[in-house]
Amino acid sequence: MLNWIRAVAACVGLCLALAACAHQQAPVYTVQDKAFPPAARSLNLAQIDSQIEQAAIARGWKVEKVKPSELRVSIEWSAHSTVESITFTQRAYSIRHVSSISLREKDGYIHRQRNVRVQQLEEEIDRRLKFGAS
């Protein structure tokens, strides 16, 4: 009887551990054609590029210019890293996932901390573009 209770307790513990791991996963968050605020609509592509680059750097991302309307950004923390592509026009921008290391990416899901960092980047971009080139 005691062995049976231990077996049940072990199964419950395993289920709780698996549930905790699953809770850390979330659908890959993307930003798709997010419209710029009115103050940013008068900016040229170089000014938009600069505002987005400054926002990324302020949040700890490394920035690489791919072409005039595309940036590749990456960030590392602990043993994790993620790479994102930011594309933009004079009206909107998108952030798309490129790759990751140690974020348990599978079937459209990824560690939720990656999403937190992308959402913080999105908020910083929005904050900087809200005031245009000022």
Residue 133: is its pLDDT beyond 70?
no
pLDDT digits (tens, 9 = 90+) for 50-64: 999 999 999 999 999
pLDDT digits (tens, 9 = 90+) for 28-45: 999 999 999 998 989 999
Tell me the domain boundaries of the chain.
27-130
Residue 19: is its pLDDT beyond 60?
no
Q: Could you tell me which of 25, 80, 72 has the C-alpha nearest to residue 52?
A: 72
Which tokens hold the place of 58?
A: 């302020």
Share of the chain above pLDDT 70, in %: 83
- The arrangement of secondary structure in 27-130, i.e. its CATH architecture, is 2-Layer Sandwich (3.30)
Q: How far apart are CA 51 and CA 132, in angstroms?
A: 8
Q: By CB neighbour count within 10 A (0-12 exposed, 13-18 middle, 19+ buried), where does 71 fall?
A: buried
Q: How far apart are CA 113 and CA 12, in angstroms?
A: 26
Using pLDDT thresholds of 50, 70 and 90, give the confidence band for residue 24: confident
